[in-house]
Amino acid sequence: MVIIRIFRLFRLITVVALFFIKAVLIHITTADPHLRRKRFEQNVTDHSDLALKALNVELKVTNPPMQDQTYLIVSNHLGYLDIFAIAAAIPSLFVTSVEMKETPFLGWLTEMGGCMYVERRNRNNILSEIKEIEAALNDGFNVVLYPEGRSTNGEKVLPFKKSLLMACADSNAHVMPAVVNFRFVNGEPVQSKHRDWLCWYDDMPFITSIWNATQINHCLMTLDFLDVVHVNGDSNHKDIATKAQNQIEARFIPLSTADLQGIS
């Protein structure tokens, strides 16, 4: 069993290495910043699909967004697997924290993915962060925002932080809520005992989370895009956040109760 897990880890490392090599080539050969970011975005999409396959995760997507529209996608956040899922489903730029940028290894991965950064420890830069997200939306990029502010252990959806949702007010984008659920793991309905295989949360070391995930023989993961929250100049970001969170909470299956109620 250990040998099998090591092989799965090697597969994922290979995918990451290929992602990095391609990203470096894009950085070297693409002078135009907009085109470079588009190529970074597509590179993330291509390798996210491979990463899910390397970890034996089957992704089922329902109601995928129209490709000719631009969206601020807001989703619940369980760890890196939902990042792979959304990126594999639709080319997007992700908003993450400055702390992530400062983390060894993960920092250069996010930079090579074209991520935007917010300083969650200090809100003095909130207006400039909103403007950066707004600019990306106006440039035609889909942007993924995790309004919970951090990944969770799957017990519940945390209250949304609302301020960054103001980015869509002066753009042509609408808010697209999305919900990620884990359905089946290794032939049985997902249970709370699988939490540390599927979620990366709190102070769990990244390498520990990855090693835990190598226990997955097969996982069915669902990504459901929900009803668009239409935005105009008069929209209130608190109302937008409430509408998005209500939809996500209604479709989210907490890991703490999944093993008690079953999965349909």
Identity at 51, one-letter amino acid code: A
DSSP run (H or E) holding 179 = strand 174-185
pTM of the model: 0.92
Q: In this structure, are residues 85 and 158 in contact, taking their beta carbons and an 8 Å threshold?
A: no
User: Strand 174-185 relative to strand 219-225: parallel, antiparallel, unpaired?
Assistant: antiparallel
Phi and psi torsions of 249, nearest 5°: -60, -35
List pLDDT tens digits, range 98-132: 888 888 888 888 988 999 998 876 667 788 888 99
pLDDT of residue 233: 64
What average pLDDT is seen over the chain?
A: 90
Kindly tell me if the per-residue pLDDT of 258 is higher than 60: no
CB burial of residue 218 (10 Å; 0-12, 13-18, 19+): exposed
The CATH architecture one would assign to domain 2-261 is 3-Layer(aba) Sandwich (3.40)
- Cα–Cα distances (Å) from 45 to 12, 48, 117, 196, 259, in that order, read 15, 5, 19, 25, 32
The residue-averaged pLDDT of 56-76 equals: 93
Angle between helices 33-54 and 2-29 (to 10 degrees): 170
* Residue 264 confidence (pLDDT): 43
pLDDT in the model for residue 169:
73
d(CA 184, CA 57): 10
What's the pLDDT tens digit per position in 27-57? Answer: 999 999 999 999 999 999 999 999 999 999 9
Find the radius of gyration of the CA atoms of the chain: 18
